Amino acid sequence: MLGFPVALLTANAFEWYAHKVWLHEYPRKHRNSPFFSHIRHHKRVRLNGFEDEHYTMPMFQDQEIFNEKVALIGLCAVFTPTVAVAPFFTAGIYYSAWQYWHKHSKAHLQPEWARTQLPWHYDHHMNTHQDANWCVTRPWFDYLMGTRVIGDDSVAETNPLGMALPGWLERPVNRVARRLLPKAFQRLDANRHSEHGRRQRGEVEEIAA
Ligand SMILES: [Zn+2]
Ligand SMILES: [Zn+2]
Ligand SMILES: [Zn+2]
């Protein structure tokens, strides 16, 4: 049973790392790599108010969609042997891969849903600086690593789990989180503050492509 939440955490860490290193850092240095399609995804999203119509295309007609699906299917394939020893872990990996595809594609076809329901990914694309907010499904590792940059307080998640919790549960969750990770919350407040400052000064950095 414990395997399921462990898999969700593993997948979230992988989201953070792969998005940052493989999809942003690597293609900037290697423009001809297939991962460069992610830089194009960023460009389209900026030009179209968060929408990316490529998410309506079949995977064999579009490089970005192809890459994303192959990566997710590959991740599932790699972890499939664990089913023999930790079936809940395997199930958690499958679930995470599905969540990634479902949320990312829905977000870029329904920008208003993304702005309010997936604010961390909306901020990833629409903030003044696009090299932060690496998690897509839930913002967990961005909180842990100090890379969550909140753009709009009125729609931002109100707890680090990025889940809608009733007040009686959310208050203790936030209390415990702040006690366990005081540095992470200092970063969160500082990041929010500097994003607001950059917006006021109109300091917008477009991704180099
Ligand atoms: Zn990105
Ligand atoms: Zn595309
Ligand atoms: Zn995106």
pLDDT per position as a tens digit, 61-89? 888 899 999 999 999 999 999 999 999 99
Q: Is residue 153 part of a domain?
A: yes
Q: Is residue 83 part of a domain?
A: yes
Q: Is residue 206 part of a domain?
A: no
Q: Is residue 207 part of a domain?
A: no
Cα separations in angstroms, 102 against 62, 97, 108, 110, 126: 17, 9, 10, 12, 20
Q: Is residue 166 part of a domain?
A: yes
Q: What is the pLDDT of residues 23-55, one digit of tens each?
A: 999 999 998 888 899 999 999 999 999 999 999
Ligand 3 centroid distance, CA of 42 (Å): 7
Alpha-helical (H) ranges within 59-166 are 63-79, 87-109, 111-117, 119-126, 140-145
Domain span at 148: 3-201
Residue 150 contacts residue 123 (beta carbons within 8 Å): yes
- Say what the pLDDT of residue 58 is: 87
Q: Which ligand lies nearest to the CA atom of residue 207 in the structure?
A: 1
Ligand 2 centroid distance, CA of 6 (Å): 32
Cα separations in angstroms, 179 against 9, 104, 196, 206: 20, 32, 26, 36
**Mean pLDDT for each 10-residue chunk of the chain (209 residues)?**
95 96 93 90 95 91 91 95 96 98 97 98 97 98 97 97 97 97 96 97 86
- Say what the pLDDT of residue 1 is: 86
Q: Is residue 134 part of a domain?
A: yes
Q: How many CB atoms lie within 10 A of CB 77?
A: 9
Q: Is residue 50 part of a domain?
A: yes
> Which residues have C-beta under 5 Å from ligand 2, the single-atom ion?
54, 62, 64
What's the total number of domains in the chain? 1
Q: Is residue 104 part of a domain?
A: yes
